[in-house]
Chain A
Amino acid sequence: MATLSLKDVRKSYGKTEVIHGVSIDVEDGEFVVIVGPSGCGKSTLLRMVAGLEAISSGVIEIGGTVVNDLEPRARDIAMVFQNYALYPHMTVADNMGYGLKIAGLPKAERAEKVRRAAEMLDLLPYLDRKPRALSGGQRQRVAMGRALVRDPAAFLFDEPLSNLDAKLRVQMRLQIKELQRTVGITSLYVTHDQVEAMTLADRLIVMNAGVAEQIDTPMAIYDRPANTFVAGFIGSPAMNILPARINAAGNGVILDGGPEIGLPDRLPASVGPGKTVLLGIRPEHFTLSRDGMAGSFPVVVHAVETLGADAYAHGRLTAVAPDSLVVRVPGHLDLHPGRPIHVVPNRDMLHLFEPETGKRL
């Protein structure tokens, strides 16, 4: 168990910098998830912590020791790989115990540790099997077990659930979370799946194009995204982001399509009347209303996705408006494409962003 700290970690391939300085202090036992679209550098960052990839500048500390130039084996970490990376010619028990064997642990002690880890992961009946005789979920658990028996300073997960089917993924997600709580080992977890990220993380690093856009707890990021990228990436379906401008009185925004939405009175000084902004509203922060109710505006529905409990209505502010927006409505509602629904946005859940930089206002 240990803390983990990154200070302005950068990575360049030749002259191209791909990680532009990431800093974070991970507390002992904390579960930090790095999330971002593919190619954002999240796996590279994890591999740098693991020592599989050299860092170009900055400092990485594990348990207070600078590990910049240490080999992976000297860093006291365990890693779970996307494709499990089990040794195909070894039994489950040998796979799990290989790290301990190299560390020179006596056979009996090794077997005991492997047995205990296997018990936690329900792998006891499979200890003598080869990986090819296991299902995807079982292989995944063996990969977890291999990390677990080592009792390392930190766990590193590189998209460990992306090869599993949806149902199994949800199960394993819960199991990983539970397991991490039980053993209390500091964990760094990479995923592109924002649901996985939200559910697992104590804290979240949202990455985009080699930059950590925001580092905070999942709910803080959901409530106050730092910019339009984070706003669009976290939350499903994505937040609606619409061009708008502040009204003359400075107490509301006028959407390009017409309707005016009142703002709570907490506008910063820089946001004066007439300023153009981007207005963000999540699909779930609309309330259905009757026509003509104060603050309501019509949305012309052109497509409906029904999920059961909920449905997502895709619509436009006017029949010819360029921007589409998504509204969450109850699933049993009888919606017809072409007909308008009337909605009231939740005033406290509005987000304003600077149009040029995309930063939160």
Chain B
Amino acid sequence: MAEHDMVGASRSGRIAAHLFLILGAVVVAFPIYYVAVASTHSLQTILRPPLPLIPGPEAYQNYHEALAGGIGRIGGVSVDRLLLNTTIVALGIAVGKIIISMASAYAIVFFRFPLRMAMFWLIFITLMLPVEVRILPTYKVMVQLHLIDTYAGLILPLIASATATLLFRQFFMTIPNELLEAARVDGAGPWRFFRDILLPLSATNIAALFVILFIYGWTQYLWPLLVTNSNEMNTIVIALRKMISFADADTPWHLVMVTAVLAILPPVLIVVLMQRWFVKGLVETEK
């Protein structure tokens, strides 16, 4: 058939395409595999080249040491504490951003109030200001609010999101006005309309945004670095940075690798779990 002529017409073509795909996958996956392998060897093995390409016997010992708080360079804070910190921060940022951006988009799209468009443009303009630009004033505010070394200090400055607001605004604007009117006639007030109709209709949008924002929160570097002093409050990314010394011999590479593996796992898990939602959202458009 005609459309089959274009892609993978011949057997050799398909084989070539697959070879390229496999090569690409290997190139991307190899460093991660290498990290996983390194996390199962002792420091001595890692420091003595070449590094073996198959997993070693030290896996249990390494992971146990990391989770039990054996990493001296970060003050003996265990990796599970780091994971907990990062999870709280990433969840806080993702959930907070979604709540705030949905609420503001709801107000801008469905309510008529003075300076509505001015508010919208104000939000829109902040898109052009990256966190780094306002980092000094934000830091000062956090200090004055005594939020240094707190979860609130880690989360709050990052949860206002112009991008997500814009995204929800665009989505809300595609909701037919008749739906709102039908709900009004049915007796739904603003809150009910939001909860019973807008929220379920936004489910796939929320899921997609959640994945993106969770990973955004998980990988934050500059802000957590500034706003935390105590090792107890480090996120895993900051801790990883602190573990690495200038001198190779001074760096517990085997534990760095363990931490790296553990740092990768939650975002991967989120993507894998939420992928079903993406597909669902693509297959059944409910509008």
Contact = CB atoms under 8 A, between A and B. Distances in A.
A146 B182 CA distance: 10
Interface residues of A, number: 26
Q: Which 6 A-B pairs have the closest CB atoms?
A: A73-B187, A85-B178, A85-B182, A99-B186, A88-B286, A102-B187
A132 B192 CA distance: 23
B188 A102 contact: yes
A130 B182 contact: no
A103 B182 CA distance: 15
Given A88-B201, A88-B286, A89-B286, A81 B187 contact: no
B185 A73 contact: yes
B186 A50 contact: no
A72 interface: yes
B4 interface: no
A79 interface: yes
Contacts of B192: 102
A81 B176 CA distance: 12
8 contacts: A73-B184, A78-B185, A81-B181, A83-B176, A98-B188, A102-B192, A146-B186, A150-B186
Given A73-B187, A85-B182, A99-B186, 5 more contacts: A52-B185, A72-B181, A83-B176, A87-B183, A98-B183
Contacts of A50: 181, 185
A227 B157 CA distance: 69
Contacts of A78: 185
A71 interface: yes
B81 to A, nearest CB: 41
A81 B182 contact: yes
Contacts, number: 65
B152 to A, nearest CB: 35
B182 A79 contact: yes
B72 interface: no
A85 B181 contact: yes
Most buried by A among B179, B187, B286: B187
A77 B185 contact: yes
Given A85-B179, A89-B200, A89-B201, A79 B286 contact: no
A324 interface: no
B287 interface: yes
A82 interface: yes
Contacts of B185: 50, 52, 72-73, 77-79, 99
A297 to B, nearest CB: 52
Interface string A68-96: 00011100011101111111110000000
Contact of B287 (A73, A88, A150): A88
Contact of A98 (B176, B186, B287): B186
A87 B187 contact: no
Given A79-B181, A132-B286, A85 B176 contact: yes
Nearest to B178: A85
A72 B197 contact: no
Interface in B160-182: 176, 178-179, 181-182
Nearest to A99: B186
B50 to A, nearest CB: 57
Contact of A103 (B179, B187, B200): B187
Nearest to A75: B185
A84 B197 CA distance: 15
A91 to B, nearest CB: 12
B38 to A, nearest CB: 48
A87 B287 CA distance: 9
Contacts of A51: 184
Contacts of A52: 181, 184-185
Contacts of B197: 87, 89
